[in-house]
Amino acid sequence: MTIQKLDPYINVDPGTLNPYEHGECFVTDDGAETDLDLGHYERFLNVPTSQANNVTTGRIYQSVINKERRGDYLGKTVQIIPHITDEIKRKIKILGSKGKYDIVVTEIGGTVGDIESLPYIEAVRQLKWELGIHALVIHLTLVPFLAATGELKTKPTQHSVKALLENGVQPDVLVLRTEHELSMDLRKKVALFTNVAIDAVIQSIDVSTIYEVPNKMREQRLDEIVLLKMGLPLKDEPKLDDWNDFLNKLKNPISEIEIGLIGKYVELQDAYKSIVESLIHAGAMNLCKVKIRWLHSEKITEENVAAKLEGLKGIIVAPGFGHRGIEGKIIATKYVREHNIPFFGICLGMQIAVIEFARNVLGWATADSTEMNEQTDCPVIDLMEEQKGVTEKGGTMRLGAYKCQIVDKDSNIYRAYNKLEIKERHRHRYEFNDRYLKDFEAAGMKAVGLNPDTNLVEVIEIPTQKWFVGVQFHPEYSSTVLKPHPLFVAFVKAALGE
């Protein structure tokens, strides 16, 4: 099975959206910039997603308008129904029609009643009519708790289902988000008002970790109900042994450490969602609870850096774009390098380590990235030649999975992966400038991972440090519950002092 996200906004993809609006932009193996929910899908399913797993209204309209311009509609008037809804249905069915998946779960973003969601609801109505038993609608609603009166209110659920019914869609299953246990009487009331069978009214109560949710759904037989309603056979009961082994480790750590995450969007922690989850996975693997100290890079100065980083066992300098907060990241990187604290730089974080090393070890005071200073006379980070004429922002970076050759067996990166060729996902424009490489290596910063096709530097390390690794790619995108990312596991291990 696979999971797909339909987003009603008109952006073609989230690549150009401010992280404060939608959290992080997740990147798939095939180079699609997608909604962060696809990261959740991969972490849960342990199956890679692709461009086809994230669809926006912008992409739907772009496709229909391109067809109209080519003359595909042969002079017909192009309308929401059937042209837009047909395109939505095609996007929903495309993953299943390729024969790769038996079941496709499609999540529609937004709220029932939103104007922008209406074409999606209509497409669902048509699909239910066309596919019969082979399509099923699960509706997620909120049951708020009024603290003043101490009661749970079902009215929002009733109105939400009423709005769905007005659009011709009858939900088969209701999942009710709640902070408190729902009584059987309350479930019966919901079932009565929504035409949903009582056993298909499922409670989704708050839990200590999102990774408990599958077990909670299993306890209420959600999986069986769905299979029975779709006429699919009930085979062996899922064991979930590896999943529960992970949960057991997560809930019973034997140690605790604090890691600093330095970024410029730290007010919205979803902006670094995949990094946070990767640390949770790696912590569980090391039987360790990882606490994160959120550090805003704009607020770090030479005067306060020691106080801000005090007591931290490791530092991650997070990805990002633009010049804001850069100096704070450089100051923090200098501090951890000089105090031999485990350092992990991801994408821009790796570039920051390069700039800091150039300025403070090589003595090149004007060293910079042309992203921050186009006029710098020492561009240690620069645009690739093929990027220099690019003016559009969306989808124009080095995106998706690229190979990386590890060139030194005596490196932290090799010890983490235990193999010489790896493949990781990228999302960036700027690269390490090769013409300075010899100077860096002579001074002690080694390029230990290279792209085999272009020779671009992918990984840097300072071997004299406990653990100082910068990677041009985004390892956080491919960490899952069942396969925690080896670099995060190694970083947490180093932070533990092992």
Amino acid of residue 219: E
302 catalytic residue (yes or no): no
SS3 255: strand
Cβ atoms of 110 and 8 closer than 8 Å: yes
Q: How far apart are the first and last CA of the chain?
A: 39
What sign does the CA torsion over 369, 372, 375, 377 have?
A: negative
Tell me, what DSSP letter sits at residue 30? T
25 catalytic residue (yes or no): no
How far is it, in rounded angstroms, from Cα 217 to Cα 444? 53
Tell me, what DSSP letter sits at residue 264? S
| Chain-centre distance for alpha carbon 371 | 24
Question: What does the block give as tokens for 342?
Answer: 């485990």
| Chain-centre distance for alpha carbon 353 | 24
474 catalytic residue (yes or no): yes
Report the candidate in 290, 238, 270, 285 with the shortest Cα–Cα distance to residue 481.
285
Of the candidates 122, 458, 461, 476, the residue annotated as catalytic is: 476
Of the candidates 22, 139, 426, 474, the residue annotated as catalytic is: 474
Beta bridge partners of 46: none
Per DSSP, helices labelled H in 77-143 are 85-97, 118-131
In order, the DSSP letters of 322-365 are SSTTHHHHHHHHHHHHHTT--EEEETHHHHHHHHHHHHHTS--T
Q: Assess whether the previous peptide bond of 463 is cis (omega < 30° from 0).
A: no
Of the candidates 83, 347, 356, 485, the residue annotated as catalytic is: 347
Cβ atoms of 140 and 126 closer than 8 Å: no
Kindly list the catalytic residues.
347, 474, 476
